[in-house]
Amino acid sequence: MAKLTCFVTGTDTEVGKTIASAAILEAARQAGKRTLAMKPVASGCEETADGLRNEDALMLQAAMTESLPYEQVNPVALQPAIAPHVAAEQAGRTLSAERLAGFCRGLQMKPADLLLIEGAGGWRVPLNPRETYARVPGILGAKVILVVPLQLGCINHAMLSAEAILSDGLSLAGWVANHPRPEAMPCEEDTLGYLLNHLPAPCLGVLPWQDNPQPAELADHLDVSVLFEN
């Protein structure tokens, strides 16, 4: 049974959740941990000879230490590159937090030190008219890791996301700062300093920009030991 379950969310979409997740998995592997990962819902999948496949889910599949078939890594694959609830509706499918949590529970039963679950978009991304994705880690009792892109507006988005996570009764286990583009943001050190002093969780690391992300190299910028301390 997985000893630790963490849910990776972002302050928004396209902030580097998958890159951060893959780097965390690699850092855990280097620390001698057995890892599993999944992206329960993925939109923007491409049709292949093996069926719909998602680039992010494939990266997670390659980064974990244990072997899983793609269908367990990404049980709900949707083709349109749009919000998951809209993509599901267009595909004639219905998303529910309980069903997604059920997929996650299946992996929680497998032996591993860490199960990493990557969400979609930010904390309040809807699954249906009544539920948001935040309900899934709530059902699972998962710890949350927040990915923060170092760009203008990130302080406000990061603080609001952290407040929402805590107000939902979940534990913010840590956060990762990511460079989403090659150029540094204005006054980056000031921004990073504010986040370090005000976000109510430890910073696991600051990921540099990579045009072709390599988890093995990015892992050198992370310290995931705090995740396994409790």
pLDDT band at 1 (very low <50, low <70, confident <90, very high): confident
Q: Name the more confident of 90 and 2.
A: 90
CB 210 within 8 A of CB 196: no
Neighbours of 62 (CB within 10 A): 12
Percentage of the chain with pLDDT > 90?
97
- pLDDT band, residue 230 (cuts 50/70/90): low
Q: Residue for token digits 């609830």?
A: 85
How far is the first Cα of the chain from the last one, in angstroms, to the nearest whole number?
A: 16
The tokens describing 175, both together, are 């956060």
Instruction: Cite the active site residues.
Output: 39
